[in-house]
Each structure stands twice: as C-alpha cells, then as structure tokens.
Structure 1
Amino acid sequence: MAYKINGKLRGLKPYVPTQEITGVIHLDANESFLNLTPQLIQDAADAVQNTAFNRYPDPYAADLCQAFGNYYGVNATHVTAGNGSDELISLLISNFLMKGETIVTTAPDFSMYTFYPKLAETNDVEAVKGNSFSITPQKLIDTVKKSNARMLLFSNPCNPTSLGFTREEVVQIIESLPDVLTVVDEAYMDFWEQTQSVLGLESRYDNLVILKTCSKMGLAALRLGFSVSNEKLTGLLHSAKSPYNVNSLTQEIGALVLGEKKCLQSHIKQIQQSRDSLLHGIEEILFRYPGAFQLYRSCTNFVTFRFPEAEQLYTYLMECGISARQFPGFLRITAGAPAENQAFLAVMESFFHKKSTLEKGG
C-alpha cells in the first residue's frame, strides 16, 4: 500500500516572496532601504571572528533579550527570542491551542496568520474588515465570543492595510476577553507613536503576548523576532521552543545593533520621512486624478491604496522594473530610498495619465 500524504499537507502551498531580480527596485517586502552603518558592519564582522563555532548558542539568548529589554524599556525576563517572529507565531498557535480549538484573525492581515492554524489542525475564523479597512474593537470582541475562540491574533499597526488600533482600543480588547490569549503583533509599531504600543502592559494581563521583529528596522537578514509576555507565559514559551532556536551569530549581531539605539532611531526617522514623502507624492497623483483610487493614511513603513485596476498597475510596475505587493483589489508599496520613491511615483503617474487619456478617447 502506497504512502499517502495527510489531509493537512495536501494542497499546501509555500509562501512565495518576490524574487530578487537584478535591476528591479524592490518595494514589495517592507524591508528597510537602509543597511547598517559601516561601523556596525565592522563590529558585526568582529563579532563573527570571536564566535565559538564549535559551541551551541545560549538557549535563552540572555544577552540578546537583555539588549531588547534595554532598547524598549521592558523586563528582559519577559522576553523570548525567536528565529523571526514567524517561529513565535507558529509556536503560539501549535502549543497554546489544542486540535480543533479556534483562533480568530482579522482580514486582511499578515497571510501567515491563516497558514499556521492549518498545520496545527485548529479552526481559523476571520473577522473581515470593511471597505475602509477598519474594524471596531467591539466587532472583533463579538466575533471572538461568538466563535468561542481561545486565541486572537492581529497585527497592530496592520500589514497590509497600514492602519492601527490605539492603545486604548487594544486594552479594551484584552480586558473584554480575559479567557482568550490575545496576541498583538507590533512588527510595525516602531513607525507609529510608541505611546500606542502595549509593551509594558504584559505584567498586568495574563492573557497578553506582544510580538516584535527586527526585520523592519534593517535586520531582515538575521531573521530575529521577540515575544513579550508575563513570566508564566514566557516560561511556557521557553519550554515549548526548540533548545537552540536562535543561532549564535544572530544573537551576537542582534544584541550589538540593539545596543545602538541612536543609530536605529535615526534610521526609523529616515524611513518615516520616506513614507511621508511617498504618501504625499501619491496624494498629489490622486489630486490630479480625483476618485482614481482610495488612499489610506499610513502609520507603518509602507503605503496602501485600493482600486479595481490594481493588477494592471502591478503588471505595469513590473514591466518598468519596480516590484510592489499585490493583493486582491489593492497594492502595498514599501517606502524606499528617495530615488526609488521618485521612480515609483513617475511610473504611477504614467499609468494614470494613460488610463485617463484612454477614458477620454484620446
């Protein structure tokens, strides 16, 4: 009798990022357009030289978690380091939910939130956002209660909508669902107001986990993420994760870079300025072509806009050497270097000019 693939793996499709093509301007992956400074790169090279490659890494990444705690002003004993926040999302879903239990996610949101529940054989109920890409805290709370969910997971600010819940709204959700594990992914919070973060509230609630990542601030290559929760939940995550989940090089370089707070904050400010410049340029195009698309105010490192011809613009951009992230009916554009933003805006202007000319019969 031939071996048969089980049901949860049949039809499973891998996450396929846009390929790195030489000569293409990449505005699709929400990476930072800024690399580390030459001095930090040299310091990272020195750290490599001092690494004991014959030894396993620290299983709890203590120095790295302390550096994270110092950077964000949280207790290092509340921090778990992960091989990217993706690993931590997978750990939370596969270990804090039993087979057949329910998780609530929002839609649209990060695509991997609906991927891991399938592997964990849990039910995923999506709270669908309206045309404004928003959802009220109460609707989210009602969806969780109605579905009898054991976990709620959402990004704040949201990828890919670029919008966010306020701190007060997130607290409302947490306090209204005391028997539900609320996982708040703050991957993009560094580009908003830190007063909207719920970091620091983890000791107050026994049902809160906060996720963070270093990928958006210029360390995408390291695959480094963190969770923050009270000591009980952190202890459970330490027990559930693999023993040496974050390699020694990532620990060393991550701790080194997190120790350079002024440098990182300078980079974040430059990314915010790039986002604002990109948003302003798109607003000017919308002014010239009123009603051509729906633009959303961004508190992330990208800009999102919706319109019926999103697929056509995506194809046109690719033909012009610019990659964007396409979703059904809308596009997400990562803030790039000034020249990259200008190149994108020129192509977008060209697209809508041609579209307008055709519609007028020109």
Structure 2
Amino acid sequence: MNSYLRHSLLTSSSVQKNYAHRLPAACDLSLVSGPCIWEKEINNALLGCDTGYFSSYPLPSQDKELIEQLADWEGVPSDGIWLTPGADAAIEFVLGRVLDPGDTCGILIPNFPRFTIVAQSLPGVKISYFNDISEMPTDLTIAVICTPNNPSTKEIPESQIRSHIMKNPKVLFVIDGVFDWTASYNLSTLCYDYPNLIVLKSFSKIGLAGLRLGYIITNRDNCRDMQTALSPFFVPPMVQKIGKAIVEHLERIEEFKQLLDDRFHKVQQRLGDRVERYSSVPFYLLKTECTSSEAVEQLFQKGISVVDGIFFQGLAKNTVRVSIGTPDQNEQLFRMLAELGI
C-alpha cells in the first residue's frame, strides 16, 4: 500500500522507529521523569475543577497567572514565556518555524534523539553534529545544546555557553533545559542578555510526565514568532490549573533533588564505577559487560526496559541509560544484572 506521508518522513532511521514504537515492560526504567512528590498539589487542583474546564474554549488560552508565576521563578519577563504541551511539542514548534530547506541544524552530541527526528522530518534540512561546543560550525541556522545533558548527565559551563552565543549572533541557540530544575545555574536568565536564544523547559522531569506541560523562554519577539500559524488551544485549562498548583510550591524541588540523590547513592553502592551521573538528573548511565543491544534485549526478556545507548549519537559503546526507579524497581535491576551477568 502506498504511503501518503511526505518523503522527508519516510525514513528508515532506527532511532525514529525505536522512539515511536517503544515496547512496554513491567519494570520500566527507560522513560525518564523521576518520583512524583506532588500528590497533594494535584489533588487540590483537581478538586477545584468544574465543568467549565472542559466545556468551553479557554480565553485567554494561556493562563496569565501561571505565566507570571513561572516568570517570577525563572527570573525573566513574562512576555517571553509561552506554554507548550511538553518539551517534545516545543521542539517541533521551534525547529519547524525556523528551519527552511537548505538550512543546517547543528546538534551537540550526545543529545536527546527527538531533535534529530524532527530535523530529519523537515524537507531539505541538513544536520551537522559536533562533539564539543568549541567545535561548533559557524554556518548553522540553529545550534541545539542540551545541559544538563541527556544522556551524559554532564553540564556545560555557563561561561562557555555565553561565549559561543556572543560569537555567533546570527545562529539561534536552542537549549534543551528540561533538566535545568536541578542544574548548578539558571539557563533562563541568559535570555535577558541574548536575543538569539530559546530555552526549552518541561514539568515532565520533576515527576510530572503525564501532565504534558512545558514552556519556552526567550525574548518577546521570538515568543510571538514561535506561535505563528499555530492553534492557541493546545494546553488544556485543567493542565494549566495543575501547573499553577505545582509552581506555588516549587521550593519542593530541593526535596525532589535530594530524593533522587539518595536513591542514586544506593545504586552506586551496588553497581560501583559501572555507573556515571554528574548532575542531579533522574537517570544515570550504566556500562554493560556485553554490547548495549544485547543487554537491552536480555533485560527486556526479564521484564525490565532501559534505553540502548546506540540511539544517542556520540555516546560511548556498551552503555545504556537507566531511569532512577523506585527502590523496588532498582532492586529488580540489580538482581537481573547479576543473574544475567551483564
């Protein structure tokens, strides 16, 4: 049967196929979110929902109070914040509105595969990968940087980011800051100083992946341009209401961060120098005794899913990415690694 997809979407990329058709497992350590510590805030927000949250189009479509709250938390003007249905959608919106046929999207690797998938899907767009920010090509339209990095967990020093943004004023820097909640410095405030910068954020990485709430931070003009030709109604009012309840208690991020660090400490005690984690992100890298693909397959047969490192271009061989799970999930992983000898 013929496909009606445009040619740029008819890719045989194993990255794209893996991302789109991830198989479920009883013990899922592949998807990264972190523990949900927000039960009280969510329940209180839901109790205040009436039928109006479902029966009417929201006007204004973006909750001004939520945006003001986020602006206060991030330390940026509110007219540079735009709510999105998670960071995945923000990636599609930004790349899709900036890149023309013939443009080059530069991606610092390793990086979150979604950027490659979206760039590959845009007709005539070229991709240029670079391994170090100091090696960034100068002929880019967009430069994608992830810090703290997914999957390496490493942070790029703020001074390096500032230096390269200043040296390349014609390049739009898109920083994947979804793990910025636990970073050592605030990426968002860089948008004060540089007009060629967009930072992507998401509630997913603080234990709220199912909420599907994210936002971009940039300057007012970029914020307006990114909304061109889009429907205004894509973040449900109920989602924004829960977002407000969470933002009112974001001081609990330190509690979230400490919980992750405590759980990882126990992982490190069991697995030693086989694991790497350089920042307080909800995942770590695990070195395998066999190929990463063999490890992923064997673990999956035992009901445990992790992410094969081959899907992150530039990541070291024989490495898998593992979400920091519950104590029970982590124990299951320890047992299976020992049993399988991987």
TM over 0.5: yes
SS in 2 for 1:53: helix
Question: 1:213-271: per-residue Cα shift (whole Å, max 9, x none)?
Answer: 10011211111111111112112123353211211111111111111123343223212
Distance 1:318 1:65, change over 3 A: same
Matched length = 327
Residue matched to 2:99: 97
* Secondary structure, aligned partner of 1:182: strand
Report the CA distance shift for 1:78/1:272 in structure 2 as closer, same or farther (over 3 A): farther
Is this contact kept in 2: 1:105–1:124, CA < 8 A? no
Preserved CA contact (<8 Å) 2:152 2:277? no
RMSD of Structure 2 on Structure 1 (CA): 2.3
Q: Is 2:286 the counterpart of 1:305?
A: yes
Q: 2:336 aligns with which of 332, 347, 353?
A: 347
- Give the equivalent residue in structure 1 for 2:313: none
Q: Which amino acid is 2:303 matched to?
A: G
The alpha carbon displacement at 1:50 in A equals: 6.1
Which residue number corresponds to residue 174 of structure 1?
A: 165
Q: Is the 8 A contact 2:102 2:126 kept in 1?
A: no
Query: Is 1:45–2:21 an aligned residue pair?
Result: no
Q: Distance in 2 between matches of 1:59 and 1:149?
A: 34
Distance in 1 separating the partners of 2:7 and 2:127: 19
Give the SS at the match of 1:153.
strand
Shift of 1:334: 0.6
Deviation at 1:151, TM superposition (A): 0.7
Aligned to 2:244: 255
Q: 1:27-54 deviations in whole A, cap 9, x for unaligned?
A: 11012233532x2232122132364322
Structure 1: distance between partners of 2:46 and 2:319: 41
Aligned to 2:145: 154
Tell me the secondary structure at the aligned position of residue 109 of structure 1: coil
Tell me whether 4-13 or 58-67 shows the greater mean CA deviation: 4-13
> Does 2:173 match 1:212?
no
Give 1:184's match in structure 2, choosing from 165, 175, 178: 175
Report the equivalent of 2:319: 330
The whole-number CA distance in structure 1 between the counterparts of 2:305 and 2:11 is: 27
Residues 1-362 of structure 1 mapped to structure 2, 5 A cutoff: 5-11=5-11, 15-16=19-20, 18-21=22-25, 24-34=26-36, 36-37=38-39, 39-49=40-50, 51-57=52-58, 58-129=60-131, 135=132, 137-140=133-136, 144-145=137-138, 148-193=139-184, 195=185, 197-283=186-272, 286=273, 295-299=275-279, 300-307=281-288, 308-328=290-310, 329-352=318-341
- Distance apart, 1:333 and its partner CA: 0.6
- SS at 1:226 equivalent: strand
User: Structure 1: how far apart are the matches of 2:161 and 2:334?
Assistant: 35
Amino acid at match of 2:179: Y
Distance 1:4 1:201 in 2: 42
Contact 2:119 2:127 in 1 (8 A): no
User: TM-score normalized by structure 1?
Assistant: 0.82
Whether contact under 8 Å (1:157, 1:163) holds in the other structure is yes
Q: Say if 2:37 and 2:256, in contact at 8 Å, map to a contact too.
A: no
Q: Which structure has the larger Rg over C-alpha atoms?
A: 1
Work out whether residues 103 and 122 of structure 1, in 8 Å CA contact, stay in contact via their aligned partners in 2.
no
Is this contact kept in 2: 1:51–1:248, CA < 8 A? no
Decide whether the 8 Å contact of 2:27 with 2:305 is kept in 1. yes
Residue aligned with 1:103, SS: strand
Q: Distance in 2 between matches of 1:113 and 1:207?
A: 18
Paired AA for residue 245 in structure 2: L
Tell me the secondary structure at the aligned position of residue 28 of structure 1.
Answer: coil
Q: 1:347 to 1:192 in 2, by over 3 A?
A: farther
Give the counterpart letter for 1:204 in structure 2: D
Alpha-carbon spacing, 1:163–1:337, altered in 2? closer, same or farther (3 Å): same
C-alpha distance 189-17 of structure 1, shift in aligned 2 (>3 A): farther
| Alpha carbons of structure 1 residues 268 and 51: separation in structure 2 relative to 1, 3 Å | farther
Question: Residue 196 of structure 2 aligns to which amino acid in structure 1?
Answer: N
When residues 75 and 277 of structure 1 are mapped into structure 2, their CA distance, relative to the original with a 3 A threshold, is farther
Amino acid of the residue matched to residue 278 of structure 2?
A: S
Gaps of 5+ in 2: 311-317
Structure 1 counterpart of 2:215, which letter?
A: F
Task: State the one-letter code of the partner of 2:20.
Answer: V
Identical positions, percent:
19
